[in-house]
Structure 1
Amino acid sequence: MNIPNDLNGKRVVVTGACGVVGSWIAAAFAEAGASLCLTDTSEADLDRLAMNLTGDRFCYAADLRDEAAIDGLAAEIAVRWGTADILVNNAGVYPSGFLLDIGVEEWDRIFDVNVRAPFLLTRVLAKQMIAAKVPGSVINISSGASRKMRKTVVPYCVSKTALDRLTKGFALELAEFGIRVNAIEPGFIAGSRVSLLTEEHVAATTGSIPLGRPSSAADVGNAVLFLASEAAAYMTGSTLTVDGGNSIGSSAVYQAKKTPL
């Protein structure tokens, strides 16, 4: 992994830290020497994650659908650090179901986690950064689904489109304070604790990716560390796609059936 030399000692908040992508991001920042605030819904899962990481870190279990829980997290950060330098809005849900079958409560849950929580957390931590005159960085974990609809996960696609627009909106309004806001679209990941995929689906999807493999911890970690570092100091409102070329098209060869003349 390419470790920038300017992230040592930076104070980093990672939401959804216990998921596959979240744990990759947390490990990358730990290796870079950053201080970590790890948050997820399960205290036990957070403790297990923290045991596998080095350096300064603390855990805060919170349901980010609850505004009071977000305020509590922000208050804990203020007590321990004064302010964070970097926020990674990684927490997200990816339920499946046809639009005709999705209930209002499930729709609201998807948007509460994928859009409302990043809005609330960015807002409250950006205010801390501004008060402390810290030129911070916010990184939202988006998806190629923000630009291309996928059958049975339309609410997720719509929520990620909204997150992309929120990224640009915050980037526009926080630029005057020196706070950069960007997003990353990781590539295909072969399943997670909340999104179990069949071997057939994994093989078919991987086979269609131009670079021929799913995302790895290094792919995601390098992208996040880059956007958080001074190497990306002139980037804000951008979305960095790190998907092996999956978003540009499929590498599967189209074979038409020949018919006799």
Structure 2
Amino acid sequence: MVSPGEDGRLQSYFDLVGMPYSSCDALTSALTMNKGYTKAILADISDLYLAKSVLLFEAQRAEGVALVEEKLALPYFVKPNAGGSSIGMTKVKVAEELKEAIDKAFDAENTGSQVIVEEFVHGREFSEGIYRNIDGELIVLPATEVKTTREFFDFEAKYIPGLTEEITPASLNEEQQLRISKILKEVYVRLNCKGMVRIDFFLENDSDKFYFIEINTIPGQTPQSFIPQQVRAAGITEQEFYGELIEVALKR
């Protein structure tokens, strides 16, 4: 889900007509669809690291290659600065592939007129849900580790069965679990999130540092999606979980 359900437009309508809803508000929903702006807000969170990046606007399209090569080292991830499901995203290993990747990201549908290029982080990939319960406490769900046979967790890896292994709960030691839980709670508060969100991150191989990837304010909710997996791993029934989200929204 991207527009209008995840980018704040639907939330704005609900606010206008006074209808309660369980997701983030309009401002947070719109902001978090923009990867570059989100990273700027999270930049000084303790123990959270951000891959070096360059944000390109449509007016900079012709000079994009030069701007990226001046500031970043190969390999790169090139992706639309808005949008989801890894649409328009490319991993660039050699300089000759960069221009095509930038054009692909700019030309993707419903992804804005901005492209973000990031230095590649070598590490394990995780996704983890967090929500505020009826008592106002922030609850971090068990993490899911994503292992794919693809070059990265792209559209095909997300939606074609057999290309990806999802391990819930993920294998993180106690110190790593405590550290990432603290980080995710700070991200949730810093972005003024509501309801349930899912945050994706890397654990860098050599440094053991957690790197932010992106936040999803309306994560997938099929039985095979990350959040339902994590809810079950936490020992909560899905009926209890979603019922509590509704109660919190009505109370809010």
TM-score by length of 2: 0.28
More helix by share: 1
Q: TM-score, normalised by structure 1?
A: 0.27
Q: Which has the higher contact order (CA 8 A, sep 6+)?
A: 2
Q: Which has the higher strand share?
A: 2
